Amino acid sequence: MTPRIAVLLNTLGLYAILVILIEAFFFQLTWHELPCPLCLLQRVAFTALAVGPILTLRYGPKPSHYGVTIIAALAGAGIAVRQILLHIAPGDSGFGSPILGYHFYTWAFIFFVVAIAACAAALLFNRQFSEQDRAPSLGLFEVAAVWLVIGATLLNAASALLECGFDFCPSNPVGYELLRSTEPP
Amino acid sequence: MFFASLFILFAVTMFFAWVGPPRVAFMLFALAIVLTGVLYLHHASSTLPLSF
């Protein structure tokens, strides 16, 4: 795998993260299902996944960049597993509506494991690390991916602030705390 | 507020990953991951009602 292909794959990874963050927002807004604290933590882990690919786009592929992604994916998978285990109980249908048969946290676990496997596979190809001192030449496709993911992360920050207000998030949120406090009694 | 702060911290980490220097991005990433762990422990302290 050449550095150019590694940069392309990392860019596609950024777009995949962007699609996941937008999809989560889509279900939050259209199905009116507010994310629980563990759901928000999984979104945080998805944004953490983007740091490694951005470093690769800026400085070229390096093993440490894949290491950053693996750490983020391990954190996300751990959080998702916790939520999966929470709902293995008689009569518990899970939190939120299922998407294609699985709940969001189950899909999140699958995506985090896929990210770990993809990084492990990418680390097998040493040729991408051969041109260490040359920053990759980037086009609009790559630059847009970086700024769109940063924008989606800031959008999540605004949404989390609206939902949780200035305190810890409730375990089972039913409304936007910050909007509720402005309503007349 | 804590989640919003965490999202902003990761956005800042991405920004430094993009504009450099990379060492700052790595340090911010480490800080953000630790804070994610702390927030996770706050929200995941209840016993799991496991029933296989």
pLDDT per residue as tens, chain A (185 positions): 888 899 999 999 999 999 999 998 888 888 888 888 899 999 999 999 999 999 999 999 999 999 999 999 999 999 999 989 888 877 777 787 788 888 899 999 999 999 999 999 999 998 888 866 677 888 999 999 999 999 999 999 999 898 888 877 777 777 887 787 555 55
CA–centroid distance for A51 within its chain:
10
> CA A1, CA A123: separation in Å to the nearest integer?
10
CA-closest candidate to residue A171, choices B36, B46, B50: B46
pTM: 0.89
Does the CB of A156 have a partner CB in chain B at under 8 Å?
Answer: yes
What is residue B31's predicted lDDT score, i.e. its pLDDT? 97
Does the CB of B41 have a partner CB in chain A at under 8 Å?
Answer: no
What is residue A56's predicted lDDT score, i.e. its pLDDT? 95
Mutate to test the interface with B, among A65, A150, A166 (most CBs of B within 10 A): A150
Furthest-apart CA atoms within chain B: distance in Å: 49
Q: Which amino acid is at A35?
A: P
> CA B26, CA B28: separation in Å to the nearest integer?
6
pLDDT digits (tens, 9 = 90+) for B41-50: 988 876 766 6
Chain-chain contact of B10 with A165 (C-beta, under 8 angstroms): no
Does the CB of B40 have a partner CB in chain A at under 8 Å?
Answer: yes
Domains and CATH numbers, chain A: 3-180 (1.20.1550)
